[in-house]
Amino acid sequence: MSPDYREILRRIRAVPAALHEAVARVPHGAHDRPPRSGEWSVRETLIHTRNTVMMAYGLRIRRLLYEVDPLFADYDEAAFRQEDLRRNESVDDLVGMIVREHEQIAALLDGLPDDRWARQGRHPQLGPMSIELLARRAAEHALEHTEQIAEIARAL
């Protein structure tokens, strides 16, 4: 496996520990309090992160492993996030789902031959998407929002 792909897997595997650490720093009872007006709370950030990794990155990677040139559907992220906020899922459950999805993505990609990382599908608005692109974005996205949660914890 190329060093670039090993680095992507390392970053995907770094998500669980980083996320647990960031969420642990949030004061008890503050998961629904946005740090500033108009910003997302920890719970809203976790819902967004979970939905994106499961419904976009993870699902699309799985399709690329088994389908030839799939067409990816879009989803209304804001609508899903608002609906899920009303469900009041526990922070522990949200973190668990994010962690497990990153672990599953890493397991699926571990040992994937280098030429398979280039397999592509197409998104109607965003264009071509390869396994490499989706895996890289899965790690970057989760780590970006993990840092956002750490910043929220510092602001509260």
- pLDDT tens readout for residues 104-119: 999 999 999 999 999 9
- The DSSP result for the chain, as a single string, is --HHHHHHHHHHHHHHHHHHHHHHTSPTT-TT--SSTTSPPHHHHHHHHHHHIIIIIIHHHHHHHHSSSPBPPP--HHHHHHHHHHHT--HHHHHHHHHHHHHHHHHHHTT--GGGGG-EEEETTTEEEEHHHHHHHHHHHHHHHHHHHHHHHHH-
Residue 77 has pLDDT above 90, yes or no: no
- At residue 156, the pLDDT reads 79
Give CATH for domain 3-155.
Answer: 1.20.120.450
- pTM for this structure? 0.94
- At residue 85, the pLDDT reads 79
- At residue 118, the pLDDT reads 97
- At residue 137, the pLDDT reads 98
- At residue 75, the pLDDT reads 79
Give the residue-averaged pLDDT of 77-94: 87
